[in-house]
Amino acid sequence: MLIAIDAGNSTIAFGIYPEPAKREPLHVAKLAMEPPPTAEQCEKVLGRLLHRAMTGGHADWSPVSALGNRRATDLDVIISSVVPRLNRALIASARSVSPHRPLVVSHRTTAGLRFEVPKPAQVGSDRIANAVAASSAFRGPVAVADCGTATTITVVGPRGQFLGGAIMPGLSLMMDSLHRSAARLPRVSLAEPRDVLGRETAASIASGVINGTAGAIEFILRGIEKELGFRVQLVLTGGHCGLLSPVMGRRHRVMPSLTFEGLRLIYLRNAHPVS
């Protein structure tokens, strides 16, 4: 059994693979990052997930029943974290359910990528996982647009080369920035715009943020392709990919669990973490 933990700037996502050789996690849960969660809170989420995975959710849950007998030798943990201050809590929660040291993804982890960037240590572990999953799922060059707190574009070459990409504010950051910095602009909820031409303020903001981000992704990819001299396929992932997909003019695939898939593949390529 494998527990995959993806700690981003807005949420921590936990996924359980009862059989890591199979693709989809059976159970997934998320924990908000504000306020910053403690190791005990992470352990409780892991306990509930393990309980559901092992009982099908039919028995009553308690911390003792969920965690007390779950520290089994066949349970491993892999962690992707872009929030270094949380790493200690994540590792502690992993050790509470598994006797193995968790595999914490970095540029040094065996992942099947060749880094062709000057500073691989600065590449986020989520982008590494996305690159691994995308290069496995697609033949030829591929770009991943991960639409979360930030919108990141990651490009992988035809031979598994991590080539770089682009980073810009995510949809929620744009919305919040407009509300904070412009006195007359309200805070609006994210929703797919009905039209590009907004006819009142909320619709105009939604159109600008969502259509603008989709256009930026397409514009950036055209520039990247011109610089590289070849076309790339596109996959969308992240919490906001469902809002961007309908307004994208470029052919693409939506893979919401891409980061989990990358963590699963990295785990398999590293066998069991060292105890």
Supply the residues annotated as catalytic: 126
Alpha carbon distance 75, 181 (integer Å): 48
- At residue 47, what are phi and psi to the nearest 5 degrees? -60, -45
Joined tokens for residue 181? 């910095």
Residue 156: strand pairing partners: 142, 162
- Residue showing tokens 């980073």: 167
- At residue 27, what are phi and psi to the nearest 5 degrees? -135, 140
Burial class (CB in 10 A: 0-12, 13-18, 19+), 73: exposed
What SS3 state is found at 10?
Answer: coil
